[in-house]
Structure 1
Amino acid sequence: MSKTHPNKSKAAKKLASASKPTGKTAAKKAAVKAPSKKTAAKSASTPKTVTKKQTAKKAPVAQKAPAKKAPPVIKKVAAKNAVPVKKAVVGKKTAPVKKSAPTKKAAPQAKKAAAPPLPAAKKQVAKPASTKAAAPAKPAIAPVESAKPVVPSTSNLPTAPTPVAKSSAKTTAKQAPAVVIQEPIAPPKPPVISDEKPVANKSGALFFDSHMHTPLCKHAAGEPEEYAAQGLKSGLKGIIFTCHCPMPDGFWPSVRMSDSEFDTYVSIVDRAAQAYRGKLDVCLGLESEFFPGHEKWIENLHKRADFDYILGGLHWQSKDYLAKFETGTIENFRRSYFEHLAQSAESGLYDCLAHPDLVKNYHPDSWCFAIIKNTVTTVLDRIAKTGVAMELNSSGLNKSYSEMNPGNEMLRMMAERKIPIVIGSDAHKPSRVGEHFITALNNLSESGYEEVSYFQKRQRIDLKISDVLASIRKAIDNNS
């Protein structure tokens, strides 16, 4: 057995220690073996490029079912570049979500997962790496809902106009009735009764026809002088023209003079008065419309001339009146008419109220005074308190409901309340001046009246019915 030389033993130990790597040397070698950042970035960029190409190729398919194609792409990239990330994702349950993340957003996360961990801290790096990689990878591998079919937009397509129900002229008019808001009128004044005793003219006539028209109202014929001539033949002392007054806001313009024709009206009546001076009294009056809301207009109109007589006219047949008040049943409409009749008397604007039951010509086949009697009773009570007179209009015999306005039953109710009564023919042509006056006077007597009236200078003149009947007969004989 040979002995080792001491020097050789020391040399061998020195050589062995030189060949064994130290801690620093091992670290350097490990650093040499570890890929550099540029290399890692390059290797990470490679799958990103592949992902873009794959995404571009699969783009048409992704529009139809983007959720089904996205998971394989992300899964393949993760398996190739980051094995620890794959294990961490598979081992952890992920909550399902409704929408998948776009492929372009998932690719940058795959880039982070592709970086290889350091060998010295493999276990410690794997856990945080899986956490970072798993969070963005959830939408890619989670189950998703099936894509809904794409419905083409119709916003650019032409659309048919919405059908609009056609409305009648009456309905249209109801939606926009004429309403005038005006300041209050002056308090009503009590009617004035003349103390002057009426005197018959040369022919013995005493009475007046207090209602007739001129061509200015657009539905009458004949000049004022022609009406005056007929007045003489009818045994009258005088006549009073009461043409339909002008109204504002286009109120029923087809049956009345315009505001610009008012002075003409005053002029032609005066012309006839001059022509018949000493033979027949020709007086200026006005059938002045009553329509709620226009009271101030009417009050000012009455100041524009020296009138002998103002006759209040309430006309249910005007389009404006129908548009505003023709609602509900026929009887309710008639009740509204009588209510306005009372209001016209209470306004203090008129000397007398024309054809007070004219509304019976509204659906005349259904007129029944008994149905409306309670309303009329209340209205007449209100009118009686004002002292305003009411008219017996003989032209009612020429209307669709052939009866004077008012009828005999209403006349009796008026007589019971001692409401003054005036007679008017409402002539729209000369031949009707004084028409049916003998019949009208007899109706008054039968209804309980003893006196009949007319107006001059806005003052009421009362005559005995018996005297009037005698004067008419005498004047007719003298003028024939």
Structure 2
Amino acid sequence: MKYMLDVHTHTLASGHAYNTIREMACAAKDRGLELLGITEHAPQMPGTCHDFYFSNLKVVSRKMCGMELLLGVELNILDFDGNVDLSEELLKRMDIVIASMHTPCYSSGTKQENTKTYINVMKNPYVNIIGHPDDSRYPVDMEALVLASKEHKVLLELNNSSLNPIGARQDARGNDIEMLQLCKKHHVPIIIGSDAHTDSDVGRHDLAMMLIEELDFPEELIVNRAVSELRKYLNKV
């Protein structure tokens, strides 16, 4: 199956990624994608960009190297109430919004507390995707998360980077298997993201695809198959 989009990527602006927007766009074009999302880390991540960066995204073209772009943010989840680190005024200007748990910004709680946190975040009308909910450092009730994804129309991400053996996330493969099995059971769509921090990883979904094939996960539940499928989850407000 050919995937047409990758909406979880980072550029130099995130502080620990290594290419420009144009370089990432050209790489996406070379890989045959139709849509690329650039989702820089929000301000609480050490080394990333300031609020001003997000407020000024209006000046950046949404087409580059013949590639359609969505310019947005990967929010940091901050606490059990589901607070995040970008104001509503800025969130409403984003083309796409991912929200994730990261160790510099969120202190893990119990399984119940982390699950409640994710669900509170899903209630934020500007959030489109929950990024890499597969890290055992943040244990969750995966079935409750899948059902909340369906209820609030927020996509859960199968993160290709999480499945890389050199990655820092713990037991991601086991958690992703559970997530996919439950999404299949409850007929809940997912999105695959590369989480690329270099242009060579743009559109890289190989590890995710291997898991998809291993579990015989239904193609119709993978949003990456068509840009029109992703658009159903955008602009909810």
Q: TM-score, normalised by structure 1?
A: 0.41
Work out whether 1:444 is the aligned partner of 2:221.
Answer: no
2:95 matched residue in structure 1 = 308
Structure whose residues are more often helix by fraction: 1
Rounded Cα–Cα distance in structure 2 between residues aligned with 1:309 and 1:420:
17
More strand by proportion, 1 or 2? 2
Structure 2 CA distance for aligned equivalents of residues 407 and 456 of structure 1: 25
1:256 paired with 2:41, answer: no
SS in 1 for 2:116: helix
Question: Is the contact made by 2:134 and 2:171 (CA closer than 8 Å) also made in structure 1?
Answer: no
Higher relative contact order (CA 8 A, sep 6+): 2
Q: Separation in 2 of the partners of 1:321 and 1:296?
A: 11
Letter in 1 for 2:218: Y
Q: Does 1:284 align with 2:71?
A: yes
Does structure 1 retain, via aligned residues, the 8 Å contact 2:75–2:86?
no
Q: Within 2, Cα distance between the matches of 1:296 and 1:218?
A: 16
Any conservation in 2 of the 1:286–1:311 contact (CA below 8 Å)? yes
TM-superposed deviation, 1:220: 1.3
Q: Match for residue 357 of structure 1?
A: 134
In the superposition, relative to structure 1, how do residues 441 and 253 fare at CA in structure 2: closer, same or farther (>3 Å)?
A: closer
| Sequence identity percentage | 22
Tell me the TM-score normalised to structure 2 length.
0.78
CA RMSD of aligned residues (A): 3.1
2:200 pairs with 1:423? no
Q: How many residue pairs align between the two structures?
A: 223
Given candidates 98, 106, 110, the residue that maps to 1:321 is: 106
Q: 1:430 to 1:390 in 2, by over 3 A?
A: same
Deviations along 1:188-210, one digit per CA (max 9) or x if unpaired, are: xxxxxxxxxxxxxxxxx760111
2:232 pairs with 1:460: yes
**Structure 1 residues 440 and 458: alpha-carbon distance in aligned structure 2, compared to 1, 3 A threshold:** closer
C-alpha offsets along residues 362-393 of structure 1, whole Å, 9 cap, x if unaligned? 39xxxxxxxx68x2223322332222211111
2:156 to 371, 374, 390: 390
Classify the secondary structure of the residue corresponding to 2:106.
helix
Cα 1:404–1:286 change in 2 (3 A) is farther
Spell out, residue by residue over 1:434-480, the C-alpha distance to the aligned partner (whole angstroms, 9 max, x if none).
12x2442343352532222156798228xxxxxxxxxxxxxxxxxxx
Q: Match for 1:288: what amino acid?
A: L
Q: Deviations over 1:107-134 (max 9, x none)?
A: xxxxxxxxxxxxxxxxxxxxxxxxxxxx
Cα distance change on mapping 1:420 and 1:255 into 2, 3 Å = farther
Alignment partner, residue 237 of structure 1? 34
| Residues 1:347 and 2:132 aligned together | no
Q: Which amino acid in the other structure matches residue 145 of structure 2?
A: V
Q: Distance in 1 between matches of 2:230 and 2:54?
A: 19
Is contact 2:77-2:85 (8 Å) kept? Answer: no
Contact map agreement 2:131 2:159 (CA 8 A) in 1? yes
Runs of 5+ consecutive residues of structure 1 not aligned to the other structure = 1-204, 247-251, 327-331, 364-371, 462-480
State the AA in 1 paired with 2:223. S
Aligned mates of 1:209, 1:353 — CA distance in 2: 14
The alpha-carbon deviation at position 294 of structure 1 amounts to 3.4
Q: Cα gap change, 1:206/1:254 in structure 2, threshold over 3 Å: closer, same or farther?
A: closer
Q: Return closer, same or farther for 1:402/1:225 CA change in 2, 3 Å cut-off.
A: farther
After superposition, what is the alpha-carbon deviation per residue over 1:390-415, rounded to whole angstroms, capped at 9, x for unaligned?
A: 11110011413474595222211122
SS of the residue corresponding to residue 355 of structure 1 reads coil
Q: Could you say which structure has the larger radius of gyration? A: 1
- 2:16 pairs with one of 214, 219, 228: 219
What 5-or-longer segments of structure 2 have no aligned partner?
none
Provide the C-alpha distance between the structure 2 equivalents of 1:407 and 1:457, rounded to a whole number of angstroms: 21
Cα offset for 1:298? 3.7
Mapped contact 1:288–1:313 kept (Cα < 8 A): yes
